[in-house]
């Protein structure tokens, strides 16, 4: 039984089984139609493996449905928004190996599907052990209190209250040190399904050019770094590259460590295996960065007016990072001259009050939010800041529209099979 709060990717095996049984097909008959083995269908339905995009498309054709139907979930949810009061915030103690921290999710059951996953994490220096992970999709870290060092790949940032880091989470990342007695930060990342599709099909075109390589590398080391980066961004192991290229494991390992200089023929094999142009490995004019670090002292606020609604905002992401899966920004409001906001847009929103008191309206409901309170909701319903109760107020304001990303993914799949 799949848990109610599982991700769409975790629910996919059950959806595949449901569609197969609805069509009165056995494992062998579906496998024959899709030209795969019954064992593969069985393992997919049990959640043991994730099928390739080609296999997904073949299975959808065999079931006589669109690929979108295997993933689509109703947008209408039991709850259209969720409000979290800072006074009611509950922390769960989490242990990962020797690392211990406290985590409080800000989007409980009720919002389905959920595009962003924000939570507050608290670390204590006396029980801290550094640990890095690799995920899928985009991620934001926003310092709430204390000071800590955070790693994104080979880059390390010292994050204080008000600082933020936005990055592609396929690179290994995580806190390396807690500089104060305690440190707390907001983390927001994308759902696993969207990150997986983005990683495999690249609808944002992030594989067209590489990001800037670390400084002080030799040309051969930069080449090796870019091969490792592209493989990581695709979510491939070295064994996957070996299977796709026919190269030995030892050769791939030596190339990625910079100990071997590959021939152009070998580079072409690797480029094809990673679905990147061979120029990806040699592009020295790139300006794309791998992480967007915005310190509080360097945050630049600009005045914005939207239909009379006035505020000052500062994006928490730089253009050099490329198109984000969700857009985070910091906003400031003044009570004097304030005009209420009432807007609708596809996707979802997340708002966290950082300073002051505001009234936020979602549909027919209005909630007074104090510092630390949050609201997460569906943005196709009329919503917005309806009043500034204190003299000034500041909020974190995140928006997403990953339904549009899915549409682009499936459009790309249809184009490929024509």
Q: Which domains does the chain have, with CATH numbers?
A: 8-72 (1.10.260.40), 87-195 (2.60.120.10), 207-281 (1.10.260.40), 300-402 (2.60.120.10)
Q: Is the pLDDT of residue 207 over 80?
A: no
Question: Higher pLDDT residue, 292 or 404?
Answer: 292
* Residue with the two structure tokens 């769960």: 92
Among 154-158, 189-193, 195-199, 349-353, the minimum mean pLDDT is found in: 195-199
Other beta carbons within 10 Å of 384: 18
Model confidence at 5, pLDDT cuts 50, 70, 90, reads very low
pLDDT at 279: 86
Residue 417: per-residue pLDDT? 62
Distance CA 41, CA 35 (A): 11
Q: What number of residues does the chain have? A: 418
Distance CA 132, CA 398 (A): 25
pLDDT the model gives residue 151: 92
Minimal CA–CA distance to 107: which of 34, 189, 10? 189
Average pLDDT, the chain: 86
Q: What is the pTM of this model?
A: 0.76
List of long-range contacts for 126-129, beta carbons under 8 Å, 24+ apart: 127/99, 127/100, 127/101, 128/99, 128/100, 128/101, 128/175, 128/177, 128/178, 129/97, 129/98, 129/99, 129/100
Tokens 């926003």: give the residue: 142
What are the tens digits of pLDDT across the range 226-261? 898 888 888 888 888 999 999 998 999 999 999 999
CA neighbor of 117 nearest in space, from 294, 316, 348: 348
Element (H, E) at 59: helix 53-62
Is 82 in a helix, a strand, or coil? strand
In this structure, what token pair is assigned to residue 272? 């094809």
Q: At what angle do helices 38-45 and 8-22 cross, to 10 degrees?
A: 130
Angle between helices 219-234 and 192-201 (to 10 degrees): 130
- Predicted confidence (pLDDT) per residue in 107-150, tens digit: 766 677 788 999 999 999 988 888 888 888 899 999 999 999 99
One-character DSSP codes across 32-56: HHHTS-HHHHHHHHTTS-PPPHHHH
pLDDT the model gives residue 3: 45
Interval 275-284: pLDDT, tens:
888 888 887 7
């Amino acid at each position: 039984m799949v848990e109610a709060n599982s991700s769409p990717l975790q629910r996919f095996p059950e959806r595949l089984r449901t569609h197969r049984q609805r069509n009165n097909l056995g494992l062998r008959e579906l496998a024959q139609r899709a030209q795969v083995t019954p064992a593969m269908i069985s393992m997919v339905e049990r959640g043991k493996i994730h099928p390739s995009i080609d296999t997904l498309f073949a299975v959808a054709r065999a079931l006589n449905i669109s690929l979108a139907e295997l993933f689509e979930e109703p947008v209408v949810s039991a709850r259209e928004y969720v409000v979290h009061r800072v006074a009611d915030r509950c922390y769960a103690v989490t242990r990962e190996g020797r690392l211990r921290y406290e985590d409080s999710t800000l989007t409980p059951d009720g919002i389905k599907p959920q595009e962003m996953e924000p939570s507050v994490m608290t670390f204590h220096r006396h029980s801290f052990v550094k640990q890095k992970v690799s995920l899928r999709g985009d991620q934001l870290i926003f310092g709430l209190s204390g000071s800590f060092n955070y790693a994104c790949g080979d880059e390390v940032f010292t994050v204080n209250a008000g600082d933020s880091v936005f990055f592609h989470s396929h690179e290994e990342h995580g806190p390396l040190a807690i500089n104060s007695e305690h440190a707390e930060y907001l983390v927001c990342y994308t759902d696993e399904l969207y990150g997986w599709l983005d990683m495999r099909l690249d609808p944002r075109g992030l594989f067209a050019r590489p990001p800037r390589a670390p400084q002080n590398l030799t040309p051969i080391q930069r080449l090796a770094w870019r091969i490792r980066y592209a493989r990581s961004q695709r979510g491939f192991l070295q064994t996957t590259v070996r299977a796709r290229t026919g190269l030995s494991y030892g050769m791939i390992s030596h190339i990625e460590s910079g100990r071997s200089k590959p021939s152009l023929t070998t580079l072409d094999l690797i480029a094809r295996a990673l679905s990147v142009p061979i120029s990806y490995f040699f592009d020295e004019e790139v300006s794309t960065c791998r992480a967007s670090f915005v310190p509080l002292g360097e945050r630049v606020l600009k005045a914005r007016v939207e239909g009379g609604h006035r505020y000052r905002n500062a994006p928490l992401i730089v253009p050099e990072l490329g198109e984000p899966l969700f857009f985070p920004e910091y906003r400031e409001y003044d009570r004097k001259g304030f005009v209420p906001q009432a807007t609708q847009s596809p996707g979802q929103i997340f708002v966290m009050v950082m300073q002051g008191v505001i009234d936020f309206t979602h549909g027919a409901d209005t909630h007074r939010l104090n510092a630390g309170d949050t609201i997460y909701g569906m943005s196709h319903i009329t919503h917005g800041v309806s009043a500034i109760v204190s003299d000034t107020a500041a909020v974190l304001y995140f928006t997403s529209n990953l339904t549009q990303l899915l549409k682009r993914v499936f459009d790309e799949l249809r184009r490929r099979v024509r």
